[in-house]
Chain A
């Protein structure tokens, strides 16, 4: 028989509490390459699988600063360098009048970079992913919670990992083909 390459081993849990506890014990047990799936955000879960920092905020900040400076510089350059005209006797660099546009540009750039930053870091869009091969996984977007230990983890061993997951009180356990 052909042995398919294994992507990892997935355990299913019923409640948010179970998955959080299970995840915490898994990482305590020394598993590094793990992940958990839930139908709604659970703050503790990310902690539990040892995921502490995400770069979204930083990206948004940079975007915001770009929008801020770019927005103002555009108006300043246009009104004083590129094509200065006398408008109702106002000075060329009427900076107070430039504030609204500058502000809007800041928001726009910050917002978009937050969203696209999030998508990129999450590697989305990603049409195919091995976990979708697990039939039960459709419940991951409804009411079930899943924990996966990737085969790439050094401690990964088909038999022991299976036993370990059982010990966590998993509802069902499945090997995830890649």
Chain B
């Protein structure tokens, strides 16, 4: 990669290199070339290797005295970062990895073996997801949703769930380094003194701070103070996945940035203009998913209807009653037509064919639901589309009913690409004396055509400081690298999508020391030497008016949010002008046949910041079920024209730049359009993430960062291995018949034939045996999964992985069909490949009462519990795999190798101590979180009561934002699960096999518009 090359030269400029290589070099190389889960094995060998031993047994490695060679020095750093059992081996530098709080006197509230929960908040793109963190003896082990919090109500998204893996990531930067050399906070402070004095004189004209999106009031305040001290200092904000268009759209409509909040449970009709608001990363997604699901109950009589017009298939589109794939550039004209149609009330005839058909239907539907409808524009759509959406919502009278406007959550709602451009300009102009890059990685993810890398190199900025979790692409160009603390290690605060402030409280003292942005900013804000805790607490003390601050503080920490910080909706009037604004050039100059290219955040690793998170890398992406890669999505029709197969390599050309990447044929993708995903192809992510997939940032234009027409695609002839967890994505078998896996009807049909899902339910007496009497037991556990509610957000998969210590296996093993997820979410496509219906089906173990797997186990390693659980006895299993063969649902997972990492001490801390860590050659599968059942049973027995309904939740259920999963005691007729199982939509997967599954599904009911159905 271009930057990489220049980087090397530049680096030599920063740190003059000597030619002699240390033996570390070889070690470094050896780690560097291994990635994915194998890397532990190779590290293990490395640890055994003589040079490593020798190196570790000296206080400093050979040649430490002449710390000249930058590469080897970084090699050593990397080794430090990488090395397992590092803490044990080096006495000098770091804190022990064991619980930080000394255990001499056991704090009262800690009962060994009993987890405790702390409220905190996970931030992504500036928006906080309130969470509860489970802590075993001061070790955070699991993220759960904060069910008290208005913005979460118990749900989380995949990123929050997986963040627990990041804090224990052994690749995290573990030291402060100066020019790649080990250094200290003290040394850094000393080094800052002179420059800051100089800046004082110059009013801070040379100070620039670049951060990601920030919603933290405390930070905002710190920046304010910085500007007070250094009037001419500047705060720049840039994230590759930003909401510039949203803000611009708001400015168009209201003349100022506003936050738009939707109330989906009040909406009868939802129209999404390219908005994927049901998948993690969209602000407020957890609440939206919950509200959306509330209105999708066909028995409630007020089931909502959703239209999704989108440019790339998304889980939101999959849930739509009507889904229309159009190119992103065609969304704006559609929005135009929609707006004029809605406002004028007349039927606009401006569009062609299918689009017109949808348009007229949608217009009619919207007009019939004034005040009870909502139009949502996608973050990446043009400002015009957002303005139009505002106008439509307004003319429909939705504002104040389903749509609310508040002041922006974003503390610094500038246009981020402009902000970055300014910074680069200043850098070029040599105005920058001191640059702090915090929580941003512009070297990797800034649009290439802005030339951030060049600017950084050509301009000679005397002091460049990088604060980050990793030694990443950017850190190697900065003099100072400060290892940042993870949010579970540090104090802070952040706003949720509705403005509610959550205090971020640490669960554990920083594993590797490290500083938070608050602590670094304290320097510039003149709060020198204040800890993050003091900074945050002082800020809120200053804001606190009431009497007893400590009570307020304790309550806020306990609840996980601060009372009354939610923004109050304000009345905004969209200027009609916006609605009639002419089509922007982006849309207008795109001919029907010019190829459009989309740039989207990756469903798993977002903008690349999670690239080193194995859970997310191996998380099957909702629509493609792809893991470890970011293939380019193309429409089936286009693939046919070009003779492409999934896995073929293509060359994409755009404005003189090009990219060679693999393609994936995606049903329901609009023609003449391709979708690429950001975040892959990183050069310094860590051993998991480095070098995976294809880096599309170099191709991404700063002017049109989300989509643009005029791209070129050509087949290169090469092929590439893509590892998808679901090879066959339809319920139709090739011989032309279809299997009733996901059972679905339209609302009308369902009303006519409510029991359609149960037709093949075998009668209870259909057995040779006297059945086991579960009724007489106190508990019989069962689960229902409401396919109507499930939005395919993948959250349950990660929650399960985290709760049950499930290993990752790597791309090659996934490709062989050996992924270990206990719970998978199947995606099925049905009908027209150009615009298919799509369905999600989460599949955990069915816990069959007549379990076929148990019958065939020769050693009785899987047996049935009195409570109806299909138990797996790991230490009895000899690994015949017969049970898996005989499982019609194929939910059993086998340790073909020693997949689990048994060495890395960090991971030992992360694991759930209540769940066995499985070894090689053993079968495993979903247990209904039996450890949680046991825990609650014990509590109940101690208290001499029965487990109350809802008190016991499985991991997947707890964090499900849509409440699709319900678990409970089916012996109790009043439990929620019993009621749901009595529902006429309730059916067992493959129930005709008479396996009598305890996990059952509620059939999916869609609510199509009869008008569109009729013509279709």
* Interface residues of A, Cβ cutoff 8 Å to B: 85-91
Given contacts A85-B864, A86-B772, A90-B855, 20 further A-B contacts (CB under 8 A): A85-B860, A85-B863, A86-B864, A86-B866, A87-B854, A87-B855, A87-B860, A87-B863, A88-B850, A88-B851, A88-B853, A88-B854, A88-B855, A89-B769, A89-B849, A89-B850, A89-B851, A89-B864, A91-B769, A91-B770
Inter-chain CA distance A118–B491, complex, in Å, is: 87
- Contact between A90 and B866 (Cβ–Cβ < 8 Å)? no
Q: Which residues of B contact A91 (CB under 8 A)?
A: 769-770
Q: Which residues of A contact B853 (CB under 8 A)?
A: 88
Q: Which residues of A contact B851 (CB under 8 A)?
A: 88-89
Inter-chain CA distance A85–B769, complex, in Å, is: 15
| Chain B residue with the shortest CB-CB distance to A91 | B769
Inter-chain CA distance A54–B769, complex, in Å, is: 48
| Chain A residue with the shortest CB-CB distance to B995 | A88
Is residue B852 within 8 Å, beta carbon to beta carbon, of the partner chain?
Answer: yes
CB proximity of B247 to chain A, nearest CB, Å: 59
Q: List 24 A-B contacts (CB under 8 A).
A: A85-B860, A85-B863, A85-B864, A86-B772, A86-B863, A86-B864, A86-B865, A87-B854, A87-B860, A87-B864, A88-B851, A88-B852, A88-B853, A88-B855, A89-B767, A89-B769, A89-B849, A89-B850, A89-B851, A89-B996, A90-B769, A90-B855, A91-B769, A91-B770
| Chain B residue with the shortest CB-CB distance to A89 | B850
Is residue B771 within 8 Å, beta carbon to beta carbon, of the partner chain?
Answer: yes
Q: Which residues of A contact B849 (CB under 8 A)?
A: 89
| Chain B residue with the shortest CB-CB distance to A83 | B860
CB proximity of B770 to chain A, nearest CB, Å: 6
Contact digits for B829-861, partner A, Cβ 8 Å, 1 yes 0 no: 000000000000000000011111111000010
Inter-chain CA distance A91–B849, complex, in Å, is: 13
Task: For the complex of A and B, list the 3 residue pairs with the smallest distance between their C-beta atoms, beginning with the closest.
Answer: A86-B864, A88-B854, A88-B855
Interface of A is mostly: loop
| Chain B residue with the shortest CB-CB distance to A90 | B769
- Contact between B864 and A88 (Cβ–Cβ < 8 Å)? yes
Q: Which residues of A contact B854 (CB under 8 A)?
A: 87-88
| Chain B residue with the shortest CB-CB distance to A97 | B855
| Chain B residue with the shortest CB-CB distance to A85 | B863
Contact digits for B36-54, partner A, Cβ 8 Å, 1 yes 0 no: 0000000000000000000
CB proximity of A42 to chain B, nearest CB, Å: 49
A86, A88, A90: most-surrounded residue (chain B CB, <10 A): A88
Q: Which residues of B contact A85 (CB under 8 A)?
A: 860, 863-864
CB proximity of A123 to chain B, nearest CB, Å: 42
CB proximity of B47 to chain A, nearest CB, Å: 43
Inter-chain CA distance A90–B849, complex, in Å, is: 10
Inter-chain CA distance A90–B866, complex, in Å, is: 13
| Chain A residue with the shortest CB-CB distance to B852 | A88
Q: Which residues of B contact A88 (CB under 8 A)?
A: 848, 850-855, 864
Q: Which residues of A contact B767 (CB under 8 A)?
A: 89
CB proximity of A77 to chain B, nearest CB, Å: 15
Q: Which residues of B contact A90 (CB under 8 A)?
A: 769, 855
CB proximity of B139 to chain A, nearest CB, Å: 35
Inter-chain CA distance A87–B865, complex, in Å, is: 9
B864-887 with Cβ < 8 A to chain A = 864-866
Inter-chain CA distance A168–B60, complex, in Å, is: 105
Inter-chain CA distance A75–B918, complex, in Å, is: 31
Inter-chain CA distance A86–B848, complex, in Å, is: 12
Q: Which residues of A contact B863 (CB under 8 A)?
A: 85-87
Q: Which residues of B contact A86 (CB under 8 A)?
A: 772, 863-866
Inter-chain CA distance A85–B771, complex, in Å, is: 14
CB proximity of A76 to chain B, nearest CB, Å: 16
Inter-chain CA distance A88–B850, complex, in Å, is: 4
CB proximity of B990 to chain A, nearest CB, Å: 15
Inter-chain CA distance A90–B767, complex, in Å, is: 10
- Contact between A89 and B860 (Cβ–Cβ < 8 Å)? no
Inter-chain CA distance A88–B888, complex, in Å, is: 14
B975-1004 with Cβ < 8 A to chain A = 996
Q: Which residues of A contact B770 (CB under 8 A)?
A: 91
Inter-chain CA distance A86–B857, complex, in Å, is: 13
Q: Which residues of A contact B848 (CB under 8 A)?
A: 88
Q: Which residues of A contact B860 (CB under 8 A)?
A: 85, 87
CB proximity of B737 to chain A, nearest CB, Å: 29
Inter-chain CA distance A177–B294, complex, in Å, is: 107
Inter-chain CA distance A86–B855, complex, in Å, is: 10
Inter-chain CA distance A85–B876, complex, in Å, is: 14
Q: Which residues of A contact B855 (CB under 8 A)?
A: 87-88, 90
Inter-chain CA distance A88–B848, complex, in Å, is: 8
Q: Which residues of A contact B996 (CB under 8 A)?
A: 89
Inter-chain CA distance A57–B46, complex, in Å, is: 68
Inter-chain CA distance A86–B777, complex, in Å, is: 14
B242-268 with Cβ < 8 A to chain A = none
Inter-chain CA distance A85–B866, complex, in Å, is: 9
Inter-chain CA distance A18–B947, complex, in Å, is: 93
Q: Which residues of B contact A87 (CB under 8 A)?
A: 854-855, 860, 863-864
Inter-chain CA distance A87–B772, complex, in Å, is: 10
Q: Which residues of A contact B852 (CB under 8 A)?
A: 88
| Chain A residue with the shortest CB-CB distance to B854 | A88
B757-784 with Cβ < 8 A to chain A = 767, 769-772
Inter-chain CA distance A119–B770, complex, in Å, is: 49
| Chain A residue with the shortest CB-CB distance to B770 | A91
Inter-chain CA distance A44–B565, complex, in Å, is: 112
Inter-chain CA distance A91–B860, complex, in Å, is: 15
Q: Which residues of A contact B865 (CB under 8 A)?
A: 86
Inter-chain CA distance A156–B222, complex, in Å, is: 128
Q: Which residues of A contact B850 (CB under 8 A)?
A: 88-89
| Chain A residue with the shortest CB-CB distance to B857 | A87
Inter-chain CA distance A90–B865, complex, in Å, is: 13
Inter-chain CA distance A90–B769, complex, in Å, is: 7
Inter-chain CA distance A114–B854, complex, in Å, is: 38
B774-827 with Cβ < 8 A to chain A = none
Inter-chain CA distance A86–B854, complex, in Å, is: 9
CB proximity of B763 to chain A, nearest CB, Å: 16
CB proximity of A13 to chain B, nearest CB, Å: 59
Inter-chain CA distance A88–B853, complex, in Å, is: 8
Inter-chain CA distance A107–B865, complex, in Å, is: 36
Inter-chain CA distance A89–B769, complex, in Å, is: 8
| Chain B residue with the shortest CB-CB distance to A87 | B854
CB proximity of A103 to chain B, nearest CB, Å: 18
CB proximity of B229 to chain A, nearest CB, Å: 73
- Contact between B771 and A89 (Cβ–Cβ < 8 Å)? yes
Inter-chain CA distance A85–B855, complex, in Å, is: 11
Contact digits for B472-515, partner A, Cβ 8 Å, 1 yes 0 no: 00000000000000000000000000000000000000000000
Inter-chain CA distance A87–B863, complex, in Å, is: 5
CB proximity of A82 to chain B, nearest CB, Å: 12
B609-647 with Cβ < 8 A to chain A = none
Inter-chain CA distance A101–B365, complex, in Å, is: 69
